[in-house]
């Protein structure tokens, strides 16, 4: 499970050393993650960051990492202890000067979730394919804001189907 994430991250992080350097960027995000399974839906606040490398105007690679809060539903307490991912980003400039960019991210995410009932606590590390979409609104060449949303995980845990979705608003800067 974690070998796939480590392999994906190693591949994405090694790419800048074999390509013509364009620019690195980072982002800081505040958002909301929603865990949903049959009969239960829990939304929790999240703080996360991303680090990326832009190869050209349309192709980038990113890694994300973040922490989230907890909530409860149906007498079950839920905590998203951490969420991380490695993605390939495809961008398209909606205007000629590049200040508005639409993008799609595809890759691999992993998370650790904790569930506490009245008698027991269960912790699970889960991973899987992810996809997100977003928009960058750049004030100038080095600073901007972005909005992104998507599905981090969609799978089965202990015989129950679940989804983990997220929405974030953030600041992005090139360096």
- We report the CATH number of the domain holding residue 51 as 2.40.160.20
Residue 6's pLDDT is: 55
Total tally of structural domains belonging to the chain: 1
Domain hosting 115: range is: 2-174
In this prediction, what percent of the chain has a pLDDT beyond 90?
55
Interval 66-114: pLDDT, tens: 998 888 887 778 889 999 999 999 999 988 888 999 999 999 999 998 8
The mean of the pLDDT values for the chain is 86
Q: What is the pTM of this model?
A: 0.82
Helix (H, G, I), strand (E, B) or coil at 99: coil
Give the C-alpha separation, 70 to 79, whole Å. Answer: 4
């Amino acid at each position: 499970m974690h070998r796939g994430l480590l392999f994906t991250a190693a591949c994405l992080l090694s790419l800048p050393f074999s390509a013509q350097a364009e620019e690195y960027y980072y982002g800081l995000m505040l958002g909301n993650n929603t865990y949903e399974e049959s009969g239960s839906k829990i939304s929790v606040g999240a703080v996360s960051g991303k680090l990326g490398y832009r190869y050209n105007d349309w192709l980038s690679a990113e890694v994300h990492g973040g922490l989230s809060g907890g909530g409860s539903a149906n007498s079950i307490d839920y905590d998203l202890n951490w969420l991380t991912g490695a993605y390939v980003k495809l961008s398209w400039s909606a205007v000629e000067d590049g200040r508005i960019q639409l993008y799609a991210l595809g890759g691999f995410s992993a998370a650790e979730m904790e569930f506490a009932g009245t008698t027991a606590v269960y912790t699970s590390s889960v991973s899987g394919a992810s996809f997100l979409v977003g928009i960058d609104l750049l004030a100038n060449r080095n600073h901007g804001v972005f909005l992104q949303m998507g599905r981090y995980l969609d799978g089965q845990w202990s015989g129950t189907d679940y989804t983990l979705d997220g929405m974030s608003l953030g600041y992005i800067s090139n360096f």
